[in-house]
């Protein structure tokens, strides 16, 4: 029998946590044959609710779930972690300046990065979901100098999945017919969903759509502002779809991308496509044997270049701001 994989989830009592934990425990994160142990991290006010969720997890009698431990100390929560999902973050509240937001999140992600550095397993893989996800990932990574930098990733898979769904709706294709879509840049309103290399049932997506105005005026803003549209409709931010994307991100990272396809992940840039090295930016990636690689050699047209550059400029500003604050 396999040794259980330790999965640490922060913000476990939040709404994404509630949608996420049951799917991890039922085998969707790593595979239907991989036993897991959950290590939940919350702030003290969240512990009671996390205990309630743990009771419900017990009540599912999931065959793969081999234990649940709950902590309010990151050093304990990340002990032996093989996978860490950093979901808990400080949301922007009314009147909060960007600097305040970044420093509040620095207060969360810097100690968590240090705890990962000091306590996680050697094969630790980190996904940051909590916003601003790319820059929070950068803060955690900077605090973990002994962990290979490429183990810190940020989630743009929800944007990726949203873009696939919008393309399927527009063209009448099945979501499974859409391949090689790319989200570039920051997980924010500046992100760039790129269809120029995407395929719909084997044909170039941009040619199938044939309407650059739809891309610029409908598709890109719909994908980029989907989070706000969900809040408007549900009265709460995306939770189950965000949890689903986190599951997809880690599952793909661990188990690989399909032949001929790729996915989107926020990862430390190696300088590819003119994105300054070290920034955590979204790229097209293939995954194999638990490692990812940036898809190389794509031709970036003018339309795409301007939009990638704008999102990367925002990431540079965020990086400079957290540098200024001494967080990296």
Binding site for substrate, residues?
Answer: 92, 98, 131, 162
- State the binding string over 217-246 for ligand NAX (x if CB under 6 A, else -): ----------x---------xxx--x----
CA 257 to chain centre: 16
Q: Which of 10, 82, 166, 182 binds ligand NAX (CB under 6 A)?
A: 10
| Residue 255 to residue 257: CA distance in whole angstroms | 7
Q: Given the rule CB under 6 A, which of 55-63, 83-91, 188-196, 248-256 is the region that contacts ligand NAX?
A: 83-91
Instruction: Examine residue 41 and tell whether it contacts ligand NAX (CB under 6 A).
Output: yes
Q: Given the rule CB under 6 A, which of 59-67, 82-90, 301-309, 311-319 is the region that contacts ligand NAX?
A: 82-90
What per-residue string of b and e applies to 74-92 under the rule 16 or more CB within 10 Å gives b?
A: beebbbebbbbbbbbbbee
Instruction: Examine residue 34 and tell whether it contacts ligand NAX (CB under 6 A).
Output: no
Cβ–Cβ under 8 Å, residues 73 and 127 = no
The two most distant CA atoms of the chain are separated, in Å, by 55
Q: Which of 5, 9, 11, 307 binds ligand NAX (CB under 6 A)?
A: 11
To the query of whether residue 28 is one of the catalytic residues in this protein, the response is no
Of the two residues 17 and 185, which places its CB atom closer to ligand NAX in the complex? 17
Query: Which residues contribute to the annotated binding site for NAD(+)?
Result: 11-17, 105, 112, 129-131
Q: Minimum Å distance from CB 8 to ligand NAX?
A: 10
Interaction residues for ligand NAX, span 85-144 (CB under 6 A)? 87-89, 91, 108, 129-131, 133
- Omega before residue 132 within 30° of 0, cis: yes
Instruction: Count interface residues toward ligand NAX (CB under 6 A).
Output: 28
3-class SS of residue 123: coil
Copy the structure tokens of residue 219.
């598709």
Catalytic annotation, pick one of 187, 197, 249, 251:
187
Interaction residues for ligand NAX, span 246-285 (CB under 6 A)? none
Q: Which of 30, 102, 144, 158 binds ligand NAX (CB under 6 A)?
A: 158
Q: Minimum Å distance from CB 249 to ligand NAX?
A: 9
**E strand map for 261-328:** 263-268, 280-288, 291-294
Cβ–Cβ under 8 Å, residues 107 and 67 = no
For 104, what's the count of Cα atoms within 13 Å in the CB-facing half-sphere?
15
CA 82 to chain centre: 17
Q: Which of 5, 6, 14, 39 binds ligand NAX (CB under 6 A)?
A: 14
Cβ–Cβ under 8 Å, residues 114 and 60 = no
Counting DSSP H helices and E strands in the chain, the numbers are 12, 14
| Residues catalogued as catalytic | 187
Q: Which residues bind ligand NAX (CB under 6 A)?
A: 10-11, 13-17, 41-43, 46, 87-89, 91, 108, 129-131, 133, 155, 158, 187, 227, 237-239, 242
């Amino acid at each position: 029998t396999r040794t259980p994989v330790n999965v640490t989830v922060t913000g476990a009592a939040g709404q994404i946590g509630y949608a996420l934990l049951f799917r991890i425990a039922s085998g969707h994160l790593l595979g239907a044959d991989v036993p897991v142990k959950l290590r939940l991290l919350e702030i003290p006010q969240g512990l009671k609710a996390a205990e309630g969720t743990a009771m419900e997890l017990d009540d599912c009698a999931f065959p793969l779930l081999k234990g649940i431990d709950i902590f309010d100390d990151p050093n304990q929560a990340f002990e032996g972690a093989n996978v860490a999902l950093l979901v808990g973050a400080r949301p922007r509240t009314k009147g909060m300046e960007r600097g305040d937001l970044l420093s509040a999140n620095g207060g969360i992600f810097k100690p968590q990065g240090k705890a990962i550095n000091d306590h996680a397993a050697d094969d630790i893989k980190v996904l940051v979901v909590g916003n601003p996800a790319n820059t929070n990932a950068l803060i955690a990574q900077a605090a973990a100098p002994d962990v290979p930098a490429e183990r810190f990733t940020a989630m743009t898979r929800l944007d990726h999945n949203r873009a696939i769904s919008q393309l399927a709706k527009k063209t009448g294709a099945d979501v499974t017919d859409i391949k090689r879509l790319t989200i570039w840049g920051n997980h924010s309103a500046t992100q760039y969903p790129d269809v120029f290399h995407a395929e719909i049932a084997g044909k170039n997506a941009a040619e199938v759509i044939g309407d650059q105005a739809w891309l610029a005026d409908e598709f890109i803003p719909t994908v980029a502002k989907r989070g706000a549209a969900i809040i408007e409709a549900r009265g709460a931010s995306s939770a189950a779809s965000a949890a689903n994307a986190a599951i997809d991100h880690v599952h793909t990272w661990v188990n690989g991308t399909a032949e001929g396809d790729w996915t989107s992940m926020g990862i430390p840039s190696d300088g590819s496509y003119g994105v300054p090295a070290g920034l955590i930016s979204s790229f097209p990636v293939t995954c194999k044997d638990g490692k990812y690689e940036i898809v190389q050699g794509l031709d970036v047209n003018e339309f795409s270049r301007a939009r990638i550059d704008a999102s990367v400029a925002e990431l540079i500003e965020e990086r400079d701001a957290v540098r200024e604050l001494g967080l990296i």
